[in-house]
């Protein structure tokens, strides 16, 4: 890479990944093209991207962008996965599942909301329910009291109808 290309790469990293405030550094060693393409496709489904980076350029971009990255994590072959949307948990799940399936692409460290997280915190993040699951649970909890009220009211009405029917049958039999 010449100097202009390096500067362009640093600006790209600063503008895209630095603006995101969420990123995961991945040990890219041993990952062939087919598997990396598979990982890119899975991440794209979660509105995330994967970028293979040069460590020196990444250090420069992150220090300029204000994202806290410990330089000791930028060693060896490094790739950065970062969400374009808001689904950080979905991205973490994809990375964890991919690492388990292929025994490659281990997440070294992550940055969530501009804060450095360890591998253990990453696992906790990946264990959280997805955004869609949380929305579904919230809607269920909002709907549940209304459903309970409707059931209770219909029980009262049903009881009234049964009593009136019993009275009617009693009067008819007299």
| Domain positions in the chain | 3-128, 130-174
Q: Which CATH architecture has domain 3-128?
A: 2-Layer Sandwich (3.30)
Question: Helices 33-45 & 88-102, crossing angle to 10 degrees?
Answer: 150
| pLDDT confidence of residue 66 | 57
Exposed/middle/buried for 107, CB within 10 Å: 0-12, 13-18, 19+? buried
pLDDT in tens, 147-162: 777 788 788 888 888 8
What are phi and psi for residue 26, nearest 5 degrees?
-120, 135
Task: Out of 10-19, 58-67, 110-119, pick the least confident.
Answer: 58-67
**R_g of the chain, CA atoms, integer Å:** 27
pLDDT confidence of residue 71: 64
Q: Round the average pLDDT of the chain to a whole number and report it.
A: 81
Q: Where are the beta strands (DSSP E) in 42-132?
A: 48-53, 78-83, 107-112, 115-117
- Coil, strand or helix: which one is 119? helix
Asked if residue 105 has pLDDT above 80, the reply is no
Query: What pLDDT, on a 0 to 100 scale, did the predictor assign at position 19?
Result: 67
Dig out the tokens for 44 from the structure: 């794209």
Is 68 in contact with 19 (CB distance < 8 Å)? no
Exposure b/e, 6-27, CB count within 10 A at least 16 = b:
eeebbeebbebbbebbbbbbbb
pTM of the model: 0.68
pLDDT digits (tens, 9 = 90+) for 41-96: 988 998 888 888 888 887 777 766 556 566 667 777 888 888 887 788 888 888 88
Q: Tell whether the model's pLDDT for residue 97 goes beyond 60.
A: yes
């Amino acid at each position: 890479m010449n100097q202009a290309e390096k500067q362009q790469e640093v600006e790209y990293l600063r503008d895209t990944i630095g603006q995101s405030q969420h990123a995961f550094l991945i040990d890219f060693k041993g990952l062939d093209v087919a598997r990396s393409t598979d990982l890119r496709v899975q991440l794209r489904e979660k509105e995330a991207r994967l970028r293979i980076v040069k460590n020196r350029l990444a250090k420069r971009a992150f220090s300029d962008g204000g994202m806290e990255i410990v330089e000791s994590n930028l060693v060896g072959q490094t790739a950065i996965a970062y969400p374009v949307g808001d689904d950080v948990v979905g991205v973490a799940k994809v990375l964890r599942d991919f690492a388990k399936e292929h025994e490659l692409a281990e997440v070294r460290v992550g940055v969530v909301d501009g804060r450095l997280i360890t591998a253990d915190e990453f696992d906790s993040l990946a264990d959280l329910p997805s955004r869609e699951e949380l929305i579904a649970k919230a809607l269920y909890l909002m709907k549940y009291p209304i459903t309970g009220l409707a059931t209770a009211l219909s029980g009262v009405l049903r009881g009234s109808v049964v009593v009136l029917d019993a009275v009617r049958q009693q009067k008819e039999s007299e």
